[in-house]
Structures are given as structure tokens and as C-alpha cells.
Structure 1
Amino acid sequence: MNPTYVSKAAQQIKPSGIRKFFDLASTMEGVISLGVGEPDFVTAWNVREASILSLEQGYTSYTANAGLLSLRKEISHYLKKRFHLDYSPDEELIVTVGASQALDIAVRAILNPGEEVLIPEPCFVAYEALVALAGGKPVHIQTSAEQGFKASPKDFEAALTKRTKAILLSTPSNPTGSVYSKTELEEIAAFAEQHDLLVIADEIYAELTYDEPYASFASINGMKQRTILISGFSKGFAMTGWRLGYVAAPTFLRDPMLKIHQYSMMCAPSMAQFGAEEALKNGLDDVDKMKKSYRRRRNLFIDALNDMGLDCHRPGGAFYAFPSIKKTGMSSEAFAESLLLNEKIAVVPGSVFGPSGEGYIRCSYASSIEQLQEALVRMKRFIESS
């Protein structure tokens, strides 16, 4: 077939490095996967039951483009109660097909061709691709372990041009688990205001923070009007397969996103929306229980990594460890491939998350204690034999 049939943008997008190692691991027996970022908990029964009941009652038609109003009201209440945010269910919220679709419509709604988005990295693999597909230019801001893998206004200043339109900020971060403090967010907010920038705040892991109270970027004084808040139900509520997220933004930003959403997706699945409504009404205790479990696993896993010589900062959120493998002399990809083939442990090379990730690997500790302990035994044996 003629390659010109495929757009240049699609040709230039790289396949996900995360899926590469997950797909390889799936062909092998006895593999412990620390690769894909997914809770090991099953969605709470009351949430599943609410979705089943909606099907039994015949609620199988389209919802409003923005999602069920009853769900948007629950999201509004949840954001107020949990994160001190005030969003109108009618004018400032859209229910999306996962947080990924929310990110997609956000960048497509704000970017003109060639406009730039500043992205601290290591970062989620989809950021660069989504910005590029929207016609924008992703500008990576490199960070280091010494910085806690967090960018400062000085870092953003060095990359600023006349074409800079927005900052894409993830807190807690995938892959590092780093969490920006309120003070750090206030400094970035002042920079955004000074240079008239928008901020896309990916807060999908907001429920999973372990040491300090969580601060949402939109809660910083004056920032709601500059912020597109991205979140959803996948991580905190263990609802990855439901593919349900949401975007919260002031009306002048929400409305163009809604137009893109109604043409590209129409609406999120109705049965998933009924389940999410139940999760917000009666599922926060389950979220807190999962969070406590992740915190115990984090402490176990991070301590063991450091004990075996893989230097690892203590992540404040999400469910990822991001240890350095530089002492081994191997590249991130070579280390991950060798670990998989020799000890049947699947991790993700840090390099897939950007240049700052080279010399690191991402390990998800969203697995049982027993699996984590066995994984640590195998990893230590691998390190000692390398």
C-alpha cells in the first residue's frame, strides 16, 4: 500500500513503550508483572451492582453529551468535599471516556498549529503524542532525582518562547510518583499568570497520596480560570476497564472541549456512568482502604530497593517506584529486557518516559504483598549476578 495514505502525524507517533514489555511478558509463563499501571483491586461490588441494575432497568441509550447530570452533580460535590474546588455541574464539567480522552480534547481545544506545551519529564507516554496529534509542539522539561523529579519556574523559564501556550503538569506523577507541594504549585501558578499560560493539570492519581494533604492546582488562588483539570475513576476507584474520566474547566474552555467531545465520542457509556455515580456516593471508604494498602506496599518496596543498592526516592503518590539502575552500567531498556528474560520480572524502562528517565526503571507496586516480596527476591538475585 502507498505510505502516503497515512498521515505524517500518525507515522511519527511511536508505539507505547509500556505496552511493548507488557505484551512480551504476556507470552511467558511465571512472569510477575510490575509493568502496567493498574490497581490489583477489583471494582467494589456496590459499583458493579449499580451498573448491572442500570442495564436491567433498560438504561442503555445515549446520555447528554456532557454526561448524566446526576453524575456531574456528584463529581461537583466530590471535588468540593475532597479538594475544595467549586465547579458547576451544568457549565464546567464533561464526563469523558477515561482521563486519556479528557487530555485529548483539552489539547485539541486550546492548541493552534505550532503552539508549544511545556511538559516536565519523565512523564506519561501519551502526553507528547496527544500534543503532537493536536498540531502542537511538545517541549520536554528535563528533571532529575535531585529535584525530586519536579520542575520549577526556572526550568519553565529556560524553555519559554513566544509560542508557549500551556504547561502540562502531572501530580502525582506517572512514572515517578512525585507530588508537588502547595508551595511549589503556587510558584508555578505565579509563573503561569506572569506569562499568561494555561495549565492542564493531570490529577488522575490525586486520591493516591500518602504523606501530605493533596493540593489541586485549580485550588491555588486565581488559577481556576487558567486550569483544565483532568481526572477520572481508573486509579483511585479501581475502575480502569470502565474507561470513565472527566474534565473540569471554566466555561470558556469547557464549551470548545464539549464540541470536540460531542463529535468524536458523543458521550461516555451510560452503564459506566451509573457505576461511577455509585462510586462517588458510597465508595470513598473503599478508596481510603486501597490507599492504606498501597502505602504499606510502597514502604516495603522502596526500602527493599534501596537495601539492594537500587537508589530510589520515596514517592509521595501514585503506585510507582522509579529506582536508578545506573550502578549496573546497563541502559534502561537492556536492564528491563534482561530482568524479564532471566528472572521473569516485567518492569518498564525509564527511557520510554523521556530522556530524563534513562538510567531508571518504573515498577508498579500495585500487586499483592506476596508477589512484591517474590519480585524483590528475584530482583536482588539479578542485581547480585549482574
Structure 2
Amino acid sequence: MTASPHTPRDSRQDRKGGRRRRVAVAGVALADCGRVDEATPYALHAQAARRALADSGLDRSAIDGFASAGLGTLAPVEVAEYLGLRPRWVDSTSVGGATWEVMAAHAADAIAAGHANAVLLVYGSTARADIKAGRRTSNLSFGSRGPLQFEVPYGHTLVAKYAMAARRHMHEYGTTLEQLASVAVQARANAATNPDAMFRDPITVDDVLDGPMIADPFTKLHCCIRSDGGCAVLLVAEEYVPDTAKAPVWVLGSGAAVSHTTMSEWDDFTVSPAARSGRLAFAEAGLTPADVDVAEIYDAFTYMTLVTLEDLGFCAKGEGGAFVEKGRLLRDGELPVNTDGGGLSACHPGMRGLFLLVEAVRQLRGEAGEGQVRKAGGRLPEVAVASGTGGWFCSAGTVLLGR
């Protein structure tokens, strides 16, 4: 087997100088997404898992690692039991939307070190259907106990925390509402070619600006949609690749970082922990932002996309507003971002981090249909980055993938 040109020389060595196995994505899949009124979260987990396994071409007996968060009394044990799995390696890391990139990094390290051979990451949620049926509320306040209790009296909902950060960026760097709105407009344009996207009709900057106010400066279209859905990703050791159904997508590098939970402990509202997770991932991969062809960025709010692009190094700090203008994020733009429509238009069933990895793999494989990114000469993308954000810029996980 030939080595990937993007694999750094020392990524195959552990701290004792022994050989570390390369890790590939062998299977990815979506469960039913959008409006799914009848399914349970467990059913969506199972549907996504079966589809990802079928996509890989491997037998279920190959799976000896499992990662899941957000469901079950003893996650991931309860979900693994539901799926009929008895893994020898498990992970239930839960750091919000960045969970799945952090889990992917953990799984890749475990496989590389020989602690597991094939790790299934799976997620499913009926967040939209549950609220519609009255099974949960839509209250987004956090922390009636512990350090966060001191912010609760001031009405700090999750969206308000992001809105405060966006306002600070606007104050510091002159970022405009129109620039933030353009992120939503481009996400919707990308969603137009995705048959699985929940919203596909085009929108304009004026549509975003004229919408109902949610938390200043965010109107409704600055905020992610609420959907149901699920997905799964299967990571395997390099020895399994000859038996897989499709060409591998390799894990080139990863990084994770945490920042704060209370807003008063956040050093700079204009810097997310992706500034550190991205630096770690690029260093491990031996790549720079200039090598990236496609970026899948967590976008619960338009500001998340803008500031994460800055912090990953695609533009300088404070230049995100100018960078996102003029169609750069479109499928045929300078840096295609959230090519499926993202959380702003495609789906957002509670936590979206795993969907970023699924879309990145599909783009690298050339499986995105009308939404497929093509480089000069019709070439498929070579390198993709998936970067998740959790909480209110509390955590970040970044994964670089390549063909």
C-alpha cells in the first residue's frame, strides 16, 4: 500500500518509536433527516449505522469500537446494546457540537495504537419532533447550578451568548450585518443542490436582515434550523482498507481545544478555541489552510462560520467579514464551505458535528451529486477540513481528511 502524500512522516510513530497504523474512513451515511415525526432517536441511530456499514462493505463483526453521546442512561453502552454491539473500546466524550470531531480524533488515535480496529461513530436525534409533540421544551438557558448560575439571572440563553460575541467582533473589526447575512445566503445556495436539505429555496441578504429578531444582531435566518436526523461514520485501520467497498479517505490530522463556560472567563470574544484545535490539526497533517479544498464548519449561527474561518487561518483575524463576501463560500467559490447547506439550511438535529465529517467524506469521494465540488480541470477535492464547535465557543475539534 502506498503512503498518502499528505501523511506526515512522524504520524506513523508512537512515543516509543513503534509503528502506528494509518486510519481511514471506510463508511459514512445519513439516517432520515429533516422532518421525521415517527422515528425514535434509537431508530435513527440504527438506520445510520446500518447504512454506514453497508457503505463500507464490511461485516458488522469487524466493529470493535463504538462512540456515541447524548442518548441513553449509560451512553454509549445503552446505544451499543440497542445496535447489538459489544465493543472493546468505547467513547462517550460530550463537549457539545465539537463532540464528533473530538471523538473521531480519539478513535483515530485508538486505532493507530492498536486498541481498536474499526470504530463506529453514530448520532441520532428527534429534536424537532420532540418539541412539536411536547416531549421537550425549546428553552436554551443553561446552568442553574455551578459557575453558570451567576449568569442565569441576566437571561443568557445560548443564542444570546453567540450574539454578544458577534457584536464584539463587529465593534472590534467593523464586521457588518450584511457580511454576516451573506453567510446564510451562501449556505442556502449550497443547500439548493442537496436533495436532503430541509430548506432549499434561495434567500437574499435583505431576507436575512428583515427577519424577526431573535437576539441582537441575529434575526431568524442568522440561526440554525431545528431538524430531526442522524448519521454515522466508520473509521478503520489500514489493514481493513483492501476489504472495503470504496476508496479510502484518510485521517491526516486532528486537534481539540477547550475555552470557557462562563462568559466572564472568555479572554476574547473574537477568538474561538478552533484557533488552537486547527493549529494542532494542521501541524499533525503537515498541511496549511492553502492545501484545503473544502471546509465543513459548524454553523449554528452565521458568526460561527466567519470566526472559525479566521481562527483556522483561512484569513487574518478581523478579515472574516470581507472574506465571506463575493461568493467565496459557494460550491464553486474560492473556498467551498458547508457544501450541503450546513446547519443554517440542511439540518441541525441538536448536535451537527458528525454531519460535517459525512459531507467532507462524500465530497472527497465525489459522491455529492449536483452539490459536488470540482477543482480546476474537473478534479475532485484532495483535502477537506471538518471543524466542530461546542457550547458557546466552549470547545472545538478539527479533523483534516484527504484522498
> TM-score, normalising length from structure 2?
0.25
Q: Which protein is richer in helix relative to its size?
A: 1
> TM-score, normalising length from structure 1?
0.26
